[in-house]
Structure 1
Amino acid sequence: MTVPLSILDLAPLVSGGTAADALRRTLDLARHAERAGYHRYWVAEHHLTPGVASSQPAVLLGQLAAVTDRIRLGSGAVQTGFLTPLAVLEQFGMLDALYPGRFDLGLGRSAQRRQSALSSSLPSSSSSSEPRVVDGLLIPRSFSFDRILNSARSKLFFSLLQQPGATPADLDSVVEDLTTLIAGRYADDAGNAARAVPGEGADLQIWILGSSGGESARVAGARGLPFAANYHVAPARVLEAVAAYRAAFRPSEILPEPHVMVSADVVVAADDETARELAKPYPLWVRSVRTGAGAIPYPSPAEVAAHEWTDEDRDLVADRVETQFAGSPQTVADRLQTLQRVTGADELLITTMTYDHADRVRSIELLAEHWLRRRASLHGHG
């Protein structure tokens, strides 16, 4: 089965570039994505990160809506620990009021836990787990984020991102408040009503994003919401995440049965060799994330050539590098179909970074052209 393709964008800076450059490239990439036939265009939320400009999804999505016409736009994902449900809904309600029926409100819990419990908010598991291949899909050794999340740097960042003494609500409570506010039924025990304007009645698709089989997967399933699983962030846990979601799923007014989207890092070029060359900066970029320093601007070929790799470096990035799909349109499409088959995904979400913007545009165009031809061929035989 060939399922719809969508894009996740971090608005990455490149070495020597600026945030303004990165944001202009995101606007341009979204226009190309719409013309190429992609289903959704999502933007991430990252804070205090030198190499990523996508810090405020709602603001960026408004700009994207102004330069596109049809493609669905969404957050991948709003970090629910930094804003109240009302603040989130007011932002996305305003977007829906201006551009009705085009927005996905993707929610993540990666910022919900304060320092005493940070290790539960992103995937971690025993470093002794061994890589395996499941029906052609590589499930690599797990990576633990505990050291990064419990670092002094993370504590500093959380002090800037959360109000003093704030206690973020759990994800299920956030979803309950959002859905109640949208429905216009929010009130206290004394009957005092709260109305979100804009926001009440907003035509938003609520998604939950998750990197493991934990709370996010369970909440998405129990509430009958669509779920996005992160093969590109935590490839070792993707099957666990999807299985937990499906096990928890209960039919809702929104979905009669589970609906899963799975992400992957891809780089596409005319041939495998060219794509592998374009992907060479990726390991160095992942290393910057995994050391806890924060994602650097995407490295130039010269910076990649100058870096001296150690065995520790290689081990640090191995799971992400081994699960990046870099190759010709045929090669990448084959690997994406394996990912879809093994996870049972109803949609796929790709993220692509290259040093040169033209290569990035060409990557999404080549993949879309091949993917759409493949879909047409399959439907033609159906």
Structure 2
Amino acid sequence: MPVPLSILDLAPVTSGGTARDALRDTIDLARRAEEAGYHRYWLAEHHLAPGVASSAPAVLIGLVAAATRRIRVGSGAVQLGHQTPLAVVEQFGTIDALYPGRIDLGLGRSGQRGAELARAATTPPPERPATVVDGLLIPSPFSFASLTKSPLFALSRALLQQPGARSPDFADQVDEIIALLTGTYRSPDGHEAHAVPGEGAEPQVWILGSSGGQSAQVAAERGLPFAANYHVSPATVLEAVNAYREAFKPSEGHTEPYVLVSADVVVAPDDDTARRLASPYGLWVRSIRKELRAIPFPTPEEAAAHEWTEEDRALVADRIDTQFVGSPATVAERLRVLQRVTGADELLVTTITHDHTDRVRSFELLAEEWNA
């Protein structure tokens, strides 16, 4: 049997569209995803991005859960650098109270990595050539160090945190969330705290990560399921899943490691159509990596009018080369390679096209082929 397929949605705003359009499309896509048999529907968290409407995942998760009946709904991922553990537990405890047994709480370090990225600006990672591992492309690592020089980098951090605030250690925040959910929280001086709603809620807690660093270690040491980002950081996906498996300790919820791996896909009835629908992707990624804010997703015609420089091409090469684009058979075969090489127990696919009907059809075609 094929491993389960799940969806990651950014609620993309397209060129000529609005955030209202994007959110309505998300609700429609979630309903269609449930009908097509997808296992989970996760909402991302992005801020200050004109092309992404998923900035408040807890709110959107509640709306998606209300609009569906069976599919699991969750976060991919809550950025813990911007919220306290108590706030997260209360939000997801509220949703779980209304939709028990269906909610996933994915946690990520994205909001905590500002200082690390700033240090990386002076010590970029060593160069590593691209390789192919049993048919899976592992590109050269992309350095995010240059992004820290943008004024928008500092502005984002300032707007997302209270003045003078400092994020606690990620592992400590995860432990506090688990303690608040299970009713075992104690302050350093021994005082109890009880989250209402939240205590006794049972969202499935996940850790998302892009490398073999702290996220993978936190997930492994606590026996939590782990989601590795091939679609965001394809160069480090193998080190992420290997580090997680090597350090895994069984827990009450998971006696064995459980790995989900993400992929960016565009499926159409034939390869040529899929390539045309996916053609704006490079321009969209360029806006994230060069301007620090995703632009509204362009039309294929708008993308074709862009004059690419060699610097631009190098900036997005790893993401373009690892996007899975083609007919249902083409993409399903490439996903099988990704699953085999990473040993994934589940795959999380994300798709952006300019036209909502093309995006819905992409997910439907893939599900039909995957489960055939």
Band the TM-score falls in, shorter-chain normalisation: over 0.9
Q: Structure 2 vs 1, CA of residues 127 and 98 (structure 1 numbering), >3 Å: closer, same or farther? A: same
> What is the rounded CA distance, in whole Å, between the counterparts of 1:348 and 1:125 in structure 2?
31
The aligned counterpart of 1:48 is 48
5+ residue gaps in structure 1?
374-382
Q: Check if 1:276 corresponds to 2:275.
A: yes
Structure 1 match to 2:15 = 15
Task: Decide whether aligned partners of structure 1 residues 87 and 121 sit closer, same or farther in structure 2, where only a CA change above 3 A counts.
Answer: farther
In the alignment, the residues of structure 1 paired with residue 95 and residue 187 of structure 2 have an alpha-carbon distance, to the nearest angstrom, of 27
- C-alpha change, 1:189 and 1:25, in structure 2 (3 Å) is closer
- List gaps (5 residues or longer) in structure 2: none
Q: Which residue of 2 aligns with 1:192?
A: 191
Shift of 1:185: 1.5
Which residue in the other structure is 1:72 paired with?
A: 72
- Give SS of 1:81's match: helix
In structure 2, C-alpha distance between the alignment counterparts of 1:21 and 1:73, rounded to whole Å: 20
Equivalent runs, 1:290-309 vs 2, <5 Å: 290-309=289-308
Q: What residue in structure 2 maps to residue 81 of structure 1?
A: 81
**Residues 113, 168 of structure 1: 8 Å contact kept:** no
- Displacement of 1:191 in angstroms is 4.2
Matched, 1:370 2:363: no
Q: Which residue of 2 aligns with 1:30?
A: 30
Amino acid at match of 2:358: D
| Residue 98 (structure 2) pairs with residue 98 (structure 1) | yes
What corresponds to 2:140 in structure 1?
A: 141
Correspondence 1:92-171 to 2 at 5 A:
92-114=92-114, 116-119=115-118, 126=125, 128-171=127-170
Structure 1 counterpart of 2:94, one-letter code: M
- Give the corresponding residue for 2:358: 359
Look up the match of 1:256.
Answer: 255
Asked whether the 8 Å contact 1:127–1:141 carries over to 2, the reply is no
Paired with 1:104 and 1:289, the residues of 2 have a C-alpha distance of 27
Alignment-mate amino acid for residue 132 of structure 1: T
Moved over 4 A (4+): 119-122
Superposition RMSD in Å: 1.5
Secondary structure in structure 1 of the residue aligned to 2:227: strand
Counterparts of 1:74 and 1:121 in 2: how far apart (Å)? Answer: 31
Equivalent residue number for residue 336 of structure 1:
335
Deviation sequence 1:12-41 (CA, Å, 0-9, x none): 000011000000000000000000000000
User: What is the TM-score with the length of structure 2 in the denominator?
Assistant: 0.97
Identity among equivalent positions (%) equals 66
Q: Distance in 2 between matches of 1:189 and 1:21?
A: 47
Please state how far the C-alpha of 1:121 moved relative to its aligned partner. 9.4
Question: What is the number of equivalent residue pairs in this alignment?
Answer: 371
Match of 1:4 in 2: 4
CA deviation profile, 1:73-94 (whole Å, cap 9, x unmatched): 0100000010100000000000
| Partner Cα separation in structure 2 for residue 293 and residue 118 of structure 1 | 13
- In structure 2, what residue type is equivalent to 1:68? T
Instruction: Report the alpha carbon displacement of residue 366 of structure 1 after superposing the two structures with TM.
Output: 0.4
Kindly state the Cα deviation for residue 102 of structure 1 after the two structures are TM-superposed. Answer: 0.7
Query: Partner of 1:247 in structure 2?
Result: 246
* Partner Cα separation in structure 1 for residue 161 and residue 120 of structure 2: 16
Rate the CA distance shift 1:239–1:92 in 2: closer, same or farther, 3 A.
Answer: same
Distance 1:25-1:121 versus aligned 2 partners, 3 A rule: farther
